[in-house]
Amino acid sequence: GDRLNLKPYEAPCNVCVVEDAHMMRQEAANAMLKILEEPPAASMMILISGKKELLLPTVISRCSEVRFRYLGAADTAGILEKEAGADERTAHFLASFSQGSPGAAMEMMKKGLIERRDALSLTLERISSAEQAAYMGWDSESKDVLIEDIEMMLMFLRDAVFAGEGLREMILDKR
């Protein structure tokens, strides 16, 4: 915040870029809010987030939204094969999982996402081959219902993470 109060040296304004703004803790978001309420002269803050719904509504209300389209899966996979040396199967998986963001996909590779995917896949294979049929039960065979159920499971997991961080106000399902 203090740097934004300095006079720009060469450019017409100071710029502060906050990547993954949705990952800010409550204290950081509140500090950011103070800066956004009274921005220093000749300054610009850019908050980057692929998960706008995780930002505080008060932060969102003080920002102008600029949307960027991601690349198509084929283009992203091509970049991953060429630049990151990913094999075709891995490149297509990461292109889909990163929703068309080559940078995010490369970061996922570095953090071992492929190894985690393989371990999860093995776990699911073990469950599906288990003699206990209860593991494979689901209340519906409708594709739309299954997708909604999976999305709800993701929401529950997200809420569990926020609860663990003491961020009760960020929880979506406040039962």
pLDDT tens by residue, 103-124: 989 998 998 888 888 877 776 6
The predicted structure's pLDDT at residue 139: 55
Tokens 């003080």 locate to 62
DSSP code, position 18: E
The sign of the dihedral angle between the CA atoms of 94, 97, 99, 104 is: negative
The sign of the dihedral angle between the CA atoms of 148, 74, 92, 55 is: negative
Alpha carbons 94 and 106: distance in angstroms, whole number: 8
Is residue 152 within a helix (H) or strand (E), and if so which, with residue range? helix 143-164
Averaged pLDDT score across all residues of the chain: 80
The predicted structure's pLDDT at residue 128: 63
Alpha carbons 120 and 112: distance in angstroms, whole number: 12
Name which of 128, 82, 77 is nearest 101 in CA terms.
77
The predicted structure's pLDDT at residue 35: 87
The predicted structure's pLDDT at residue 131: 59
Residues lower than pLDDT 70 in the chain: 1-9, 123-124, 127-149, 151, 169-175
Both tokens of 165, joined, read 């961080």
Name which of 46, 34, 29 is nearest 2 in CA terms.
34
The sign of the dihedral angle between the CA atoms of 98, 103, 104, 108 is: positive
Q: How many Cα atoms sit within 13 Å of 93 on the Cβ side? A: 14
CA distances from 9 to 3, 17, 36, 69, 172 (A): 11, 17, 22, 32, 44
